Structure 1
Amino acid sequence: QVLKGYGQSYPPAGYLVAYGGNLTGYAHIPPFKGCGVGEDLDPLFTSAISSVGKKADNYTKMTQAPLCVATNPEGPDCPPKVPKPER
């Protein structure tokens, strides 16, 4: 699956890749296939982690620091500052 994002304002506001921030949402995790070497672990992983037959209830929150780009290694965001973890 592919995550697609888009903004609805100009100039852009909210989360921007260059400035970092929080990305939140819900994820659908499909059934597992081909897990395990000597035994089939698909049912175990699928029942514990997947959202098969349920709404996408796997809440996800990712915090990204501002970008530090190679063209400006002396920039204000280099080295990247580690974001404070949030719940």
Structure 2
Amino acid sequence: MAQQKHCVIYRETAAHSHLKLVGHLYDQCQDTLVQFGTFLGSTYSVDEYVERLPSIITMLREYHINTDVAFFLARPMFTHQINVRL
């Protein structure tokens, strides 16, 4: 979903799609991604979340996910690490 959100702008504009359609597709990707992140956070315990999701470095380097999305998905992991150290 994160990769699709990033690519929808370049694929659709290269195909000369209407700007309103490109904006709508981008917004749908964003909404779905936020819904998915919320679902993961509410379904898994923090330990399961940390165990199942790749690290932020892996998301950035191997999956080529944009920084804002990688930090959005990694936020529960960071919060858990901060709380454990306190």
The two structures have a TM-score, normalised by structure 1, of 0.23
Q: Which has the higher contact order (CA 8 A, sep 6+)?
A: 2
Q: Which one has a larger percent helix, Structure 1 or Structure 2? A: 2
Instruction: State the structure with more CA Rg.
Output: 1
Greater fraction of residues in strand: 1
